[in-house]
Structure 1
Amino acid sequence: MDLKKMHNRNIRSAATSLLLAGSLALTLAACGSSDSTTSTDESSASSEAVAVETTVAPDGLASPDVKESTNADATESTDADGDSDADSAAEATPAPEGVMISAMAGRDLPEKVGDYTNTGNDGVADQYKLHEEDGVFDSISVEFREGMDYAGAIENLSNTVPGGTGLCGTNPGSDNPVCYLQTTDGTVVITSDVSFISVEELAAFGNELTAELGTE
């Protein structure tokens, strides 16, 4: 009888232990599921954050609008540079050595040379002026002398500067600038007053006049 009671007690104790173990297992499983859900939620949130961050342009990189503005500025800068280059290319320079103005006999001088306008002949030379009302001391005189000895004309020039197909400078005893441009049949003589224009400026006029008349 005592053995039977003891046996029943052991069976109840074992059953209780099994129930406790089962309850503990369920509790642990529930905790694990909760932790897994939490981890999954955190992982999803992290992924979304990364996705959002990747849509923001990194520092130092321009947005599309900024890039378009930059490209427009670059285009304007290129256009400006192109205009500057075109102006430089159009600027007349002294002719290469040995080149002469084409024969001038029977030809008229051009109506315009740079900013200057041919206002007519005063009986000796054509007068080029910036403004028609300008006086003789504010003008440039241009005349063609057929058969003139170019080499002899430039022999005694001082303060010389290349101009057109010849040389510019000052003659002995004078401060007034003068240019002698060689042609195939003589010499074009350009003169002005020192109070109006310098030798360098008269040489620039000579370059433009040569470009208008043509060379060979």
Structure 2
Amino acid sequence: MATLLLRLAAPLQSWGADSKFETRKTNREPTKSGVIGLLAAALGLRRDDAAGLARLNGLHFAVRADREGSLLVDFHTANRLSERQQKENREKGKKPEAPYVTYRHYLQDAVFLVGLESEDAALLQELETALKHPVYPLYLGRRSCPPTLPLCLGIRAGKLMDTLRAEPLLVKQRNGAPLRIVADADPADAAAVPRRDLAMSFSPIHRQYGFRPVREWNTNPPEMPGATEHDAMAELR
């Protein structure tokens, strides 16, 4: 058993959650469907590649929130009519239609450690290579959210949860509170809750998502190597 580790960090990231009408919300941490989409882009899979998607969905998934980040709500204005339709209406003397506002939610300055566990060593090695040399551009939930480097931290020998608990922090400062881990769970686990972020199809014609059981844990991983508390006034003394 081995675990591939990813570092998901960026000024902004957004992981699709409950999105209705003109409001696009984000989850508190990366979704499995979002990370599987990132892997599919790295491999160059087609959106209708059902076999390739099923292979990736078989990975056991967990995410550790090293820095939760803060919520940013942005807004965009848009028109329901195309530019051609707007031009035709102006030529006919019709009153222009007022634009509408859409809201998009982002996580600012968040840092996550993602683990992907499999008994298939060849698959993990294939993913590691693809993430370092992706076929398509990679982004954290939305195209406007490219990741910072390093993205791929490599493969660790060991089980998923053990690896996430043992891997040193990805940030230098923390408030001492335990970190959250959100992981795939056994359906029979009484503490598991359903989450609708299992990608069944990425087809643009008919995207489909299913439910998976997840459970939240707490952990206190080791500090980042060489991390010390910064004293901004030390050189002035």
Q: Shorter-chain TM-score: what band?
A: under 0.3
Q: Compare relative contact order (CA 8 Å, sep 6+) and give the higher one, 1 or 2.
A: 2
Provide the TM-score with structure 1 as the length reference: 0.23
> Which of the two has higher C-alpha Rg?
1
Provide the TM-score with structure 2 as the length reference: 0.21
Q: Per residue, is there more helix in 1 or in 2?
A: 1
